[in-house]
Amino acid sequence: MKHVVSVSLGSARRDHQTTAVILDQAVEIVRQGTDGDMERARQWIASLDGKVDVIGLGGIDRYLVVKSQRYEIRDAQKLAQAARHTPVVDGSGLKAVWEPHVIQQLVEMGLISPHQKVLLVSAMDRFGMAEAFYTMGFPTIAGDLIFASHIDYPIQSLGELEEFARKLLPDLIKMPFSMLYPTGSEQDHTVSNNAYGKYFNEADIIAGDFHFIRRYLPDQLQGKVIVTNTTTRDDRLLLEERHLQTLVTTTPFLDGRSFGTNVMEAALVAISGVRPEDNGWADVVMNAGLQWHVSRFEGAKGNASH
Amino acid sequence: MLKTLEHFAAQCNANSRLRQMNRDWTRRIAIVATDRAQSFWLTSQEGVITAGEGPAVEPDLQIQAPYDIIQAIFSGAMSPTEPYNAGDLLVKGSQDDLMRLDIITLLIWGE
């Protein structure tokens, strides 16, 4: 059996161990959080090197891929380099292929429509999703500067997003990751009555990283659709309390449960032997039997995987 | 140095995108050249940046570094990140303000 371990900078409260069947093969999956402790994560990765098939990096992006340019976050690079033999993946290769496909399917199924306004809370970590929204004609605001840097400037076109990425990312990737993204207990903090509520209020669709969404989540979400990644049971309760209409989780469902993208990517690499930078990676992802998931609240109760 | 800071301020003020970004960023920034005992300041108010020489009054952000590093940062020869990571640039204030300064310099001189 293949064996993958996800080492996450997120909370250890979400640790789990399970066996999943992917591409007709059983894979043992272990997730271990380090509560934002970078050094503990590095040591843990070093101790796993050569002992498991693939290591996933959770709670941190290693690569930000914008157009064909790949930027490597320095702190994540240091973590990955703790493994000399075992491949280390972060889920960015899966997101790049899978998330545009999910957006396309949501449109085809009539769950979302290009006339709806989109707030994508962070786009540089999921450029594929951003590109899908912009090119399909959704009026889209990318909130990278707003939510990651607290600069009240909405990015409103794909061209501007690409320009910002070209100018900013070569330098920002050298910053301590904790300056770019909430880690550990920071992920649990929420900001009420914040200045950025207007962007949430104006959007029909709120998309992107759920840690950013939850941090600035407004009290009322009637009529809105959230398209995001992993959500916990508590997250879903929170969204229901705030009267969200529809929640779409792009994080692949398999065997009835959700896995982080780094975990799924690690499993796919372990089974297929194909890495995200290899030709054929997109085929591996699209043929893996992955599903996204939709939950409807506010009376239109029900759940479905697609 | 004052000319460098004034030029930096002029470039910010001539950039409509930066003016929009900084429209709600009201700050007094003290800049101290540690190896020359020289002080300068920048202020940001309603999107307009102003530069001057001398100590800043009740600054929100203090930047301390050797003269050449400050000169390099505000002339676009170096971004603040590298000297900050190396410990050559000391910042007293919020990380958000440091990040914003970094982004301002990158939007003027990045690529």
Contact B99/A167, CB-based, under 8 Å?
no
The DSSP call for residue A146 is I
The amino acid sitting at B20 is: Q
CATH class held by domain A95-252+292-305: alpha beta
pLDDT for A188 equals 66
pLDDT for B30 equals 96
Give chain A's radius of gyration (CA, Å).
18
What is the interface pTM, i.e. ipTM, of the complex?
A: 0.90
Distance of residue A74 Cα from the nearest chain B Cα, in angstroms: 12
The percent of residues in chain A predicted with pLDDT above 90, rounded, is 67
Return the domain boundaries, chain A: 2-91+254-290, 95-252+292-305
Distance of residue B45 Cα from the nearest chain A Cα, in angstroms: 14
pLDDT for A305 equals 63
pLDDT for A259 equals 76
Fold of A2-91+254-290: Rossmann fold (3.40.50)
More confident residue, A160 or B85: A160
**Do residues B110 and A166 make contact, with C-beta atoms less than 8 angstroms apart?**
yes
The percent of residues in chain A predicted with pLDDT above 70, rounded, is 92
Distance of residue B77 Cα from the nearest chain A Cα, in angstroms: 13
Q: Which residues from chain A sit within 8 angstroms of residue B24, using beta carbons?
A: 152
The percent of residues in chain B predicted with pLDDT above 90, rounded, is 79
pTM: 0.90
Report yes or no on B41 lying in a domain: yes
Distance from C-alpha of A217 to C-alpha of B37, rounded to nearest angstrom: 47
pLDDT for A36 equals 86
The DSSP call for residue A181 is S
Which of B81, B96, B111 is opposite residue A149, by nearest beta carbon?
A: B96
CATH code of residue B34: 3.30.1050.10
More confident residue, B102 or A179: B102
Distance of residue B20 Cα from the nearest chain A Cα, in angstroms: 7
Query: pLDDT tens-digit profile of A166-186?
Result: 999 999 999 888 777 766 666
Distance from C-alpha of A138 to C-alpha of A116, rounded to nearest angstrom: 6
Tokens at A294, concatenated: 């939709």
Identical fold between A2-91+254-290 and A95-252+292-305: yes
Domain count, chain B: 1
Report yes or no on B108 lying in a domain: no
pLDDT for B49 equals 95
Report yes or no on B110 lying in a domain: no
Instruction: Look up tokens 């479905």; give the residue.
Output: A304
Query: pLDDT tens-digit profile of A277-303?
Result: 999 999 999 999 888 889 998 655 566
What is the rounded average pLDDT of the residues A13-37? 87
> What is the residue-averaged pLDDT of chain B?
92
Q: Which residues from chain B sit within 8 angstroms of residue A149, using beta carbons?
A: 96, 99-100, 103
Contact B111/A175, CB-based, under 8 Å?
no
Point out which residues pair with B29 in neighbouring strands.
B42, B61
Report yes or no on B37 lying in a domain: yes
Residue range of the domain that includes B85? 2-101
pLDDT for A298 equals 65
Distance from C-alpha of A68 to C-alpha of A131, rounded to nearest angstrom: 12
Contact B107/A153, CB-based, under 8 Å?
no
Residue to test with chain A: of B60, B82, B97, B106, most A Cβ within 10 A: B106
